[in-house]
Amino acid sequence: MADDRLQALRAVPLFREFSDRALRKVLEISKEVSHPDGKVVLEEDASAVGFHMILDGNAEISVDGKVVGTFGPGEYFGEMSLIDGKPRSATVTAKNGLRTLSIPAWNFERVMMEHPEMMRAMLEVLSTRIRRLEGSHRD
């Protein structure tokens, strides 16, 4: 099971450059969580609690009550509020047996400080998301 989670982490751009030792540290501070379908995992405008990487199922993303996308295995959410300390920018709802590897906010910050390469990877992913959203709003 730990090997499966280690491989799942390695597949995420955020953790791709981490050594096995560093990935094991991430696993030590994370917890596997199953979310029932329809459960709100993160609520728009709420404070940050943690980072979630999807192992199975889907996460439906909505802003102002409108669905703007769906994330699946290997994708993650919850990092923006952890970085800037601002309220959540979207609501995330569990779909199709969502199971995540979750890292509490206080542990996530420590991992980022110990591994600055994680910050660059995160910025690249966030830039891609912003470009995709901007493109979907153009006529």
Q: What is the pTM of this model?
A: 0.76
Give the number of other Cβ atoms within 10 Å of residue 31's Cβ: 12
- Continuous segment of H or E residues that includes residue 54: strand 50-63
Superfamily assignment of 2-106 in CATH?
A: Jelly Rolls (2.60.120.10)
Q: Which residue has the higher pLDDT, 136 or 43?
A: 43
What integer is the mean pLDDT of 69-91?
Answer: 81
- DSSP letter, residue 85: -
Domain ranges across the chain: 2-106
**Average pLDDT of the chain, as a whole number:** 83
Mean pLDDT (whole number) for 31-52: 89
pLDDT score recorded for residue 136: 61
Question: Where does 72-128 show beta strands of DSSP type E?
Answer: 76-77, 91-104
Tell me the C-alpha distance between 69 and 76, whole Å: 13
Mean predicted confidence (pLDDT) in 15-31: 82
Q: How far is 75 from 37, CA to CA, in rounded Å?
A: 18
Examine the pLDDT at 5 and tell me if it is beyond 60. Answer: yes
User: Do 6 and 24 form a contact (C-beta atoms < 8 A)?
Assistant: yes
Ranking 40-44, 58-62, 93-97, 128-132 by mean pLDDT, the lowest is: 128-132
For position 139, what pLDDT does the model report? 46
Model confidence over 94-139: pLDDT tens digits? 999 999 998 887 887 787 788 777 777 777 777 887 787 777 655 4
Confidence check: pLDDT of 38 > 60: yes
Work out the pLDDT band at 81, boundaries 50, 70, 90.
Answer: low
Q: How far apart are CA 73 and CA 59, in angstroms?
A: 9
One-letter identity of residue 52: H
Structure-model confidence comparison of residues 116 and 60, the more confident one: 60
CA–CA distance, 129 with 135 (Å, rounded to integer): 10
